[in-house]
Structure 1
């Protein structure tokens, strides 16, 4: 048994979430230092733009693959590689902070592999839906679709908890409602793009996937099907 005296009052962030965070921070540090001339020389100023073109996701690329039925690895990787490239330090900071916060909460219930699968699945789903529905040119970059997937997992857990308490389960969707309201406000004030479609798709995928990825989730679903 663990010693309550030596036990930390704060549950640690799952290592898989820390690893994702460190990659995001590391990539952004290289871009930021390069843009300020601390590393890489004069050509480092263009590293971010080059990375967006090489690793970002674009609906035109997906349309080309579907039209020609050609799916090269260099383009398939974009369905996930885009999450590690951000438009600015602030963009990366917000993504990283939300990743740590949501990852910590989800990691207290989900297994580590399930947290990783949830993040990857929602990132890929967000890109796929974005590619199928958006016809203009904005590049999809940043970890928000995957983070919104974790928010979907958080919402699922809150939805279950409220159901157990006999409370109104629609309250579980308060967080995503607030976030989408903030996105709408910023879009009206400063202009926005269609990338919110990827975020919402990531959230939806995260909520639905949590029925299967949560501990005992698949067993509960099978039992429900057999009972019906």
Structure 2
């Protein structure tokens, strides 16, 4: 009997996304520690944020000034690949692998990429619409929250099929929001300043992933409507 290979269960697109996140951080870490880039390497992360990050200023240029240049539009999907620090990369990579594996098994590998990109765009758009100031948006948590949205919808369907309480599907996002609230309060007390508004993008990414999953799940919109009719 051929032994099973755990990595085979992870869709290639999920592995590619994770390697991209980790690979970029490896380059930035090498530059920050002087192994590549020379003295200029210390500023590579900041330059990457300026080049690929998102902000309300970018949103204003796209929406109000109708600047649809590639430099502006690319930022809606490139900001998740530049992270603030190694710890953030570790969490994003681990969650992308775990949630991507589950989502890939339920939706399919290509649809995981659609969820990832769509939730990134939704998160950036709502962030640009609601956030105050010119705080930059970057880091991979927004599309991770989108994968959590996809996971939540898949679990919601499975609990419904099993005749169990479907509200249990929202436990994960509830716990994460509670942790984020506690972190925001502690950060505000220590820094004596309001926490960064990145939660706007992350929560929007969750609802973006949840919403697009209604269309991407087996049976799509028809199945969703049928279940709603059964409950009414």
> Which residue, out of 90, 110, 134, partners 1:93?
90
How far apart, in 1, do the equivalents of 2:173 and 2:225 lie? 29
| Residue in structure 2 matched with residue 208 of structure 1 by the alignment | 211
| Residue in structure 1 matched with residue 4 of structure 2 by the alignment | 8
Alpha-carbon shift at residue 67 of structure 1 (Å):
2.0
| Residue in structure 2 matched with residue 152 of structure 1 by the alignment | 149
Tell me the secondary structure at the aligned position of residue 205 of structure 1. helix
| Residue in structure 2 matched with residue 190 of structure 1 by the alignment | 187
How far apart, in 2, do the equivalents of 1:123 and 1:67 lie? 21
Tell me the secondary structure at the aligned position of residue 106 of structure 2. coil
How far apart, in 1, do the equivalents of 2:221 and 2:182 lie? 38
How far apart, in 2, do the equivalents of 1:108 and 1:70 lie? 39
Alpha-carbon shift at residue 7 of structure 1 (Å):
5.3
| Residue in structure 1 matched with residue 77 of structure 2 by the alignment | 80
| Residue in structure 2 matched with residue 170 of structure 1 by the alignment | 167
More off after superposition, 95-104 vs 213-222: 213-222
- Give the unaligned 5+ runs of structure 2: 189-194
Q: List structure 1 segments (4+ residues) > 6 angstroms apart after TM superposition.
A: 222-225
How far apart, in 1, do the equivalents of 2:182 and 2:224 lie? 38
Count of residues in correspondence between the two structures: 224
- Give the unaligned 5+ runs of structure 1: none
Per the normalisation by structure 2, the TM-score is 0.90
| Residue in structure 2 matched with residue 45 of structure 1 by the alignment | 42
> Does the 8 Å contact 2:107/2:217 carry over to 1?
yes
Per the normalisation by structure 1, the TM-score is 0.92
Q: Considering only aligned residues, what root-mean-square deviation do their CA atoms show, in Å?
A: 2.1
> Does the 8 Å contact 1:158/1:172 carry over to 2?
yes
How far apart, in 1, do the equivalents of 2:67 and 2:136 lie? 21
